[in-house]
A and B are shown apart, each in its own frame.
Chain A
Amino acid sequence: GEDVEQSLFLSVREGDSSVINCTYTDSSSTYLYWYKQEPGAGLQLLTYIFSNMDMKQDQRLTVLLNKKDKHLSLRIADTQTGDSAIYFCAERPGNNAGNMLTFGGGTRLMVKP
């Protein structure tokens, strides 16, 4: 079955880099996603990567994908207090009829001033 795992909590100091990790089990995953959820808010799509890519960079965000180890990471450079939120990793399995996503449990990022 499909399973996506994330660590629960990460704390960093403002200005440092944050690295949020995610592992998944479905080797046929086609796309992998990172979403951000602030308190009381919806899910904001940060970035997504196609499974044949190793890396994707978008301003302060860098996504690394190790398909062999089924490991995805999100690096946030120069982390700011406004980056404090819950970050969800999600995968779109490649063997289903629809495009539904399977989500990890979320990593709460706390940025200390």
Chain B
Amino acid sequence: DSGVTQTPKHLITATGQRVTLRCSPRSGDLSVYWYQQSLDQGLQFLIQYYNGEERAKGNILERFSAQQFPDLHSELNLSSLELGDSALYFCASSVGSSRVDFGPGTRLTVL
């Protein structure tokens, strides 16, 4: 158990809809990262937050947004969903610059 939790485990929705994925980092970790894993793109970095502030941005679509709250949990919002957004979405956390632990992921299926 990495200490990083994600909900829900599975999410099935329709095209055009909006969903929210939730992540709680490991206790004491200030950084939260979001990654997308798909068959064709592999593991892609989306966005990072550090202590509530956006720290770095990767290949995140404009339809996607995220935030980190004062209690350090984070949410990833995906809107106007398309079939191609179906993927595993991982949250990861770290306290410094070395160890990075991942959560179990949320599997999103867009029908």
Contact = CB atoms under 8 A, between A and B. Distances in A.
Contacts, number: 61
Given A41-B105, A100-B58, 19 more contacts: A30-B97, A31-B98, A35-B102, A41-B104, A42-B2, A42-B104, A42-B105, A43-B90, A43-B105, A48-B99, A92-B97, A98-B31, A98-B55, A99-B33, A99-B97, A99-B100, A101-B33, A101-B100, A102-B45
A44 B55 contact: no
Contacts of B74: none
A97 B56 contact: yes
Interface string B31-53: 10100000000110100101000
B48 A100 contact: yes
Interface of B: 2, 31, 33, 42-43, 45, 48, 50, 55-56, 58, 90, 92, 94, 97-105
Q: Chain A interface residue count: which class?
A: 20 to 34
Nearest to B45: A100
Nearest to B6: A42
A77 interface: no
B24 to A, nearest CB: 14
Given A99-B31, A99-B94, A88 B43 contact: yes
Contacts of A24: none
Interface of A: 30-31, 33, 35, 41-45, 48, 50, 88, 90, 92, 96-103, 105-106
Given A98-B56, A100-B33, A42 B103 contact: yes
Contacts of A100: 33, 45, 48, 56, 58
Contacts of A90: 43
B98 to A, nearest CB: 6
B87 to A, nearest CB: 14
Contacts of B43: 88, 90, 103
